[in-house]
Amino acid sequence: MKTIGLIAGMSWESSAVYYNIFNRKTAEILGGYHSAKCIMVSVDFAEIEELQHKNNWKLLEKMMIQLAQQLEKAGADFVVLGTNTMHFCAFEIEKSIHVPFLHIADATGQKIKKTGLQKVALLGTRFTMEMDFYTKFIYEKFGIEVMVPDKPERELIHRIIYNELVHGIILNESREKVKQIVNNMNSTGAEGVILGCTEIPLLISDSDVDIPVFDTTKIHAERAVEIAIMGE
């Protein structure tokens, strides 16, 4: 079994979900007493959040590279970055390490491609929805069109993520608002929805909406386990 290297803490709420999935999926596949081989390096999210909102992506990129290199030196066979937004730095991370890097949008795009859907909605932080590193990746690699909500809805989702979900606060009122956003996008052509922030699955799931839901946390973590056990 290969050792998974996880860059965590963005936020720790979703990182706990990653760790849970790593071990449950490993036990599901291998049975018995098996659990995941995993190395985790976790950051202080307050530092990350401040730099994100100051648009200091160069320093964030440097930090992500250092964390990936730290995992490689510690013995990780490949690296998983447990956050959608910081995949803005994915290209530079990949160039900086000698072990594979599992891109969250790659794992998600593969999953969507298998369903045959051609047009999906993306919910995430304002950074993920408004910068093209995520939507462009999925369109160019898989030919899948990715829609984002209107600006007021993007701002609402962003606030819910940073003011509630990263603190473990789950509000029914927020769930209903996000469900309405998904329904609105479904009515304008979205055939499915990417939960493109690793905290959003804490709020909604496929039982909350009428179109297929792609939980990036679950997809990413389970793909990491498959690679660890069975290889590419």
User: Residue 175 — pLDDT band, cuts 50, 70, 90?
Assistant: very high
Q: What is the pLDDT of residue 128?
A: 95
- Rounded distance, CA 90 to CA 92, Å? 6
Cα separation values, 63 from 6, 33, 68, 161, 175, Å: 14, 36, 9, 22, 33
Give the tokens for residue 82.
């447990």
Residue numbers annotated as active site: 83, 197
- What SS3 class is residue 123? strand
Angle between helices 216-230 and 12-30 (to 10 degrees): 40
Mean pLDDT of the chain: 96
User: Residue 168 — pLDDT band, cuts 50, 70, 90?
Assistant: very high
Q: What is the pLDDT of residue 109?
A: 96
Query: Is pLDDT of 232 > 80?
Result: no
Query: Is pLDDT of 231 > 90?
Result: no
Q: What is the pLDDT of residue 69?
A: 98
